[in-house]
Amino acid sequence: MTSLYPDLPFSGSYTALVTPFKEDGALDEAKFEALVDWQIEEGTHGLVPVGTTGESPTLSHEEHDRVVEICVKVTNGRVPIIAGAGSNSTAEAVRLAQHAEQVGADAVLVVSPYYNKPTQAGLKAHFTSVADAISIPLVIYDIPGRSIVQVSDELMAELAKHPNIAGVKDATADCGRPTVLRNLIGNDFCQLSGEDATVLPYLAAGGHGCISVVSNVAPGLCSQLHHAWVKGNDPAKALALHQKLMPLHTALFCEASPGPVKYAASLLGIAGPTTRQPLVEIAESSKIAVKAALKAADLI
């Protein structure tokens, strides 16, 4: 396993994998296995199963565990796996994280508890409890748009002192934040964007990669962007790729994710469009937008 930044465990283009379902709503294990293989063949630097893009809130515990197990088995050490282990129950997050470690995941992604609306002290207790319960790295998922609360920069710096807390998936869309956190923490804390549309300015400000929804359907282009920026020292190429991907960055969030990206995946034949309620089939106008964005990126 390699990282675009030799001193960091996680960097580059990571895919927040969708969880394919059959038409009857059951897990489509064959499609998921094929998706993992295709992602690696296309150059994705790492995989994130059962994050919120993987519809973790509507998976049973058994399904959640199974998806992680399949991902680890199929990947077979070819790229790092950051397994989703998020819950608004700390005890449940601990169990999910421990299972991920037991079956061979390289790290876990733990989201800020949603709905509970904890204070900064509560957030500290949550992340610390999960990190204390495992011996693999933990990546904090800071997404105030869905969890209401945000991990403050000061708390992030405090949490970064924990030996098992290795980085952040930052879905605040604050492109100045990587520089702020570098000043507070240093350069060895993995900073991964959680907002596809801001990936290039995030990298320019000192970020190290992206945990991406768009790379479900455009893994090669997303990987090339990171290579151009980090290895190729070619900002013009990185900008051209970012510009090419921007219609997808917009269209795949025209409705609640992962509805649009699953529809896009169905057009490419890599996963079915089925989501679990309360998410439903996307509107016809959204389908038109997704198709147009795939054409703009030369994917169909």
Sign of the dihedral defined by the CA atoms of residues 131, 134, 140, 144, in that order: negative
In the set 22, 114, 115, 169, the catalytic residue is 169
Which two structure tokens, joined as six digits, stand for 27? 């897990």
169 in active site: yes
CA dist., res. 268 & res. 152, Å (int): 39
> DSSP assignment of 257-299, as one string?
TTHHHHHHHHHHTSS-----TTS-PPPHHHHHHHHHHHHHTT-
Omega into 6 within 30° of 0, i.e. cis?
no
Query: In the Cβ-directed half-sphere of 221, how many Cα atoms lie within 13 Å?
Result: 24
141 in active site: yes
Closest alpha carbon to 39 in 10, 11, 7, 81: 81
- Asked if residue 297 lies in contact with residue 247, where contact means CB atoms within 8 angstroms, the answer is yes
In the set 14, 141, 202, 263, the catalytic residue is 141
CA dist., res. 196 & res. 248, Å (int): 9
- Asked if residue 226 lies in contact with residue 234, where contact means CB atoms within 8 angstroms, the answer is no
User: Would you please indicate which residues are annotated as catalytic (active-site) residues?
Assistant: 141, 169
